[in-house]
C-alpha cells in the first residue's frame, strides 16, 4: 500500500508526518529508497506480511531538507528508524549519479543544494 505524506509538522522537537490515508498498524523498516520516475522518496514500513511505502513527494522536499537532522515520527507515534542516516546516504549516492535519471538528479541537487 502506498501512503502519501500530506502534512509535516514540527511538534515538541520532532517532525510528525501524516498521510492522506487512514493510519495503519506498521513498524518502521529503517530503509529509504527513491521512486525517481515519480520524483519521490519512499520510506519502507512493515506490517508483518508486506511492505508499505511512505511516499514523500516533491512538495515535501523543502521540509525534508529543513528538518533533515530531526527525529521523524509517523502519526506522532511511530519513530522512523534510521530516517536521517538513510536520507544522508541516499542524497550522497544521488549526487551526480544519473542512474536515477538526469531530471530527478538535477532536481534533488537543486533542492538539497548538493
User: Where exactly are the structural domains of the chain?
Assistant: 2-111
Which pLDDT score, from 0 to 100, does residue 65 have?
A: 95
Helix/strand/coil for 95: coil
| d(C-alpha 6, C-alpha 60), whole Å | 8
Place 19 in a pLDDT band, splitting at 50, 70 and 90: very high
| d(C-alpha 46, C-alpha 49), whole Å | 7
Helix/strand/coil for 101: coil
Q: Model's pTM, two decimal places?
A: 0.93
Beta-bridged to residue 54, according to DSSP, are 3, 43
Place 53 in a pLDDT band, splitting at 50, 70 and 90: very high
Which pLDDT score, from 0 to 100, does residue 87 have?
A: 96
Q: Cβ(83)–Cβ(73) under 8 Å?
A: no
Amino acid at each position: 500500500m502506498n501512503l502519501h505524506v500530506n502534512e509535516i509538522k514540527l511538534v515538541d522537537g520532532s517532525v510528525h508526518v501524516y498521510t492522506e490515508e487512514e493510519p495503519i498498524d506498521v513498524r518502521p523498516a529503517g530503509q529509504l529508497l527513491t521512486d525517481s520516475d515519480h520524483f519521490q522518496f519512499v520510506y519502507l514500513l512493515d506490517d508483518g506480511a508486506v511492505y508499505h511505502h511512505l511516499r514523500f513527494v516533491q512538495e515535501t522536499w523543502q521540509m525534508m531538507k529543513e528538518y533533515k537532522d530531526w527525529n521523524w515520527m509517523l502519526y506522532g507515534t511511530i519513530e522512523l528508524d534510521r530516517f536521517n542516516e538513510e536520507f544522508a546516504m541516499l542524497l550522497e549516492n544521488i549526487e551526480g549519479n544519473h542512474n536515477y535519471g538526469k531530471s530527478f538528479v538535477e532536481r534533488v541537487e537543486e533542492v538539497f543544494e548538493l
